Amino acid sequence: GPVALWYGGDQQRGGNNPRALWGVHPCKDGWIGVASMPRQTHSVLDVMGLSDMKEDPLFADSTWSSDADELLRILVPNFTMKHTAEEIFRIADDYRAPFAMIPTPAELLKWPHHKETDFWQEVTHPVLGKHPVPSGPIWFSLHPENPDSKPDKGNFSPAPLLGQHNEEIFSERAIIKRPEKSPSPDISSMPKTLPLENIRVVDMTQVWSGPYAMRFLADMGADVIKVEGPTFPDPVRTAGGSRTAPAINLSSYFNEYNRGKRSLTLDFKKKSGMEALERLIKTADVFVENWSSGVADRNGLGYNDITKLNPNIVYISMPGFGHEGSDASRVGFGPTIEQMGGLVALQGYENDAPHKSGISYGDPIAGATCAAAAAAALIHKALTGKGCYCLLPQRDGVTGLIGEYIVAEALGCGIQTRTGNKRSGHAPHEVYPCLPDVEPRPILSVFPNDDEDLETQTIDTVTDRWIAIDCQSDEEWMSLAQIVGDSRLYDSAYSTVDGRLTNQKFLDDIISEWTATKDPYDIANSLQDNGVTAAPVQTALLLLTDPHSNYRDNFVTVNHDVKGEHLTARPTWRLTRRPELPKFSGP
């Protein structure tokens, strides 16, 4: 919600294809994904055999324009429909273009890259027997200087049966004797510093996953130094087309993901720039990059290069697909990661296309995982005095989120996918319209800016409001029916979940008639008071006025050197003795 936080507006629901180069397209044998930042537009044209169009004024500067998008909405499906997903995927690798296949759980289990990297780990469950589970999302190399040392991907054991280890646990010593300790110091007299104060981070990351990860560290007090090239800044700064000051410093997305950091611009491809970067690295505790595989090594910034400067540094690499295996050379962004990771194949409406998430889910998952990797590696360094190498293949983290689908598929009892808002065994389970807002909410352009009046950047206004209702039992259904108070719901045919599923369209229409005249908060409160799961559907803008969010002070004010004060999302953790909140926006 950076646009809501900066400008007080919402953005359009973009569906599966908010832009021609940011969505899911039909192909000869199914579906293919593409997620291209402006600078990858030329590589996409190469894949489609339209290299001569790179000099066309529409594409020459590789910016996102409505005219270019309109043409691409014709060109892209015309191309994809003539080729299989595998053919497009193969050509894309030649041009380093961000196309993605959309594998199902069954296909992921056979995926060559996962076999090549030993991604699937086998466990033996006492009831289910042997089945695969995904590797952990982080590969820790505690002794990377040893060529025979293998990365630690985590421990793998089956889920326990209910109460399986009762006897084992109760037979252990009730009291574990610990070494004598000196009396605990009076913590009230200790300085209330943030946990990562005096930790320096060299942040070479761009776009969302890496910057979001390092924002966690900045929130915890680390000195995070964001390094960008003077002619190649973070693409999120310039995604709206602005390449000069002050607009280049006023990207709401960039500033939300990079708050609390310091900025350093240098060209490490020049001798003076590399020398300056090397001096900085010598003072750092953490170095992190999210380039595609091979970029760091080609530029003299791989792990072996960095440890020559700083032997005990924590080095974090977060390529999309790792550094080994047949997919390692692939490039991609958040949508690519969630598509290749298996998540998108599960989502969508019945008998329709696989549906990407609305937020490029691969990015925040990789970002949160990266922050955890940094914290774990810093603890290791505090205990041993040694740094380590952390590898985060971003797709691995997404695949780990759908582990239940993988296990079910391997055991021959696959879980139903692409069910829209429905859920097996729950009925009703839907989103219903509510009483519209009196005051319209503005819908702003994709990348609004401070150079233009907001009124000219408002492309629409909306008043729609919605409520999500989930009946998880027959008892909850009875409560819902009584609250709605419509006699048509009292038929005994609806007293079982099977009966309600059979008649769900009829029931949804009745419930919609009831919700359409009521405030979503009033409905939610009434249903929750009677044990029925329900909540208003919130947009980013609506969250800013949500009573619970405001009660918890979920949004705080920070200062930006050009824009001045604006809202930002509060860190999710609350430290009792260290209540310090972010003060500064992005650099």
d(CA 38, CA 30): 26
Q: Which of 389, 375, 369 is nearest to 220 (CA)?
A: 375
Span 427-447, average pLDDT: 93
Nearest-Å Rg of the Cα atoms of the chain is 26
DSSP code, position 585: -
Mean pLDDT over all residues of the chain? 92
Cβ atoms 59, 42 nearer than 8 A: yes
Per residue in 338-363, pLDDT (tens digit) is: 999 999 999 999 999 999 998 888 99
| Three-state DSSP class for residue 470 | strand
| Three-state DSSP class for residue 275 | helix
Span 115-132, average pLDDT: 94
CATH architecture of 429-545: 2-Layer Sandwich (3.30)
d(CA 213, CA 208): 8
| Type of residue found at 452 | E
Residue 172: its pLDDT value, please? Answer: 80
Per residue in 170-218, pLDDT (tens digit) is: 888 655 555 555 555 555 666 678 899 999 999 999 999 999 999 999 9
d(CA 136, CA 327): 18
H-type helices in 241-329, by residue range? Answer: 252-257, 271-281, 295-298, 303-309
What CATH number should be reported for the domain whose range is 14-101? 3.30.1540.10
Q: What pTM value is reported for the model?
A: 0.92
Would the CATH topology of 193-404 be identical to that of 429-545? no
Question: 193-404, which class in CATH?
Answer: alpha beta
Residue 238: its pLDDT value, please? Answer: 83
Find the largest Cα–Cα distance for the chain.
Answer: 80
Span 84-108, average pLDDT: 96
Cβ atoms 396, 406 nearer than 8 A: no
H-type helices in 48-175, by residue range? Answer: 66-80, 85-95, 105-109, 112-116, 166-171
Domain ranges of the chain: 14-101, 193-404, 429-545
Which segment of 236-240, 266-270, 344-348, 371-375 scores lowest on mean pLDDT? Answer: 236-240
DSSP code, position 495: S
Residue 186: its pLDDT value, please? Answer: 59
d(CA 363, CA 220): 20
Query: In this structure, what token pair is assigned to residue 122?
Result: 């086998």
Residue 257: its pLDDT value, please? Answer: 94
H-type helices in 474-574, by residue range? Answer: 474-484, 497-502, 504-515, 520-529, 540-543, 547-551
- Cα distances (angstroms) measured from residue 371 to each of 196, 219, 368, 374, 400: 12, 11, 5, 5, 17
Which segment of 143-147, 255-259, 496-500 scores lowest on mean pLDDT? Answer: 143-147
pLDDT at residue 324 is higher than 90? yes
3-state secondary structure 321-352: CCCCCCCCCCCCCHHHHHHHCCHHHHCCCCCC
Which segment of 40-44, 235-239, 292-296, 424-428 scores lowest on mean pLDDT? Answer: 235-239
Residue 216: its pLDDT value, please? Answer: 95
pLDDT at residue 467 is higher than 90? yes
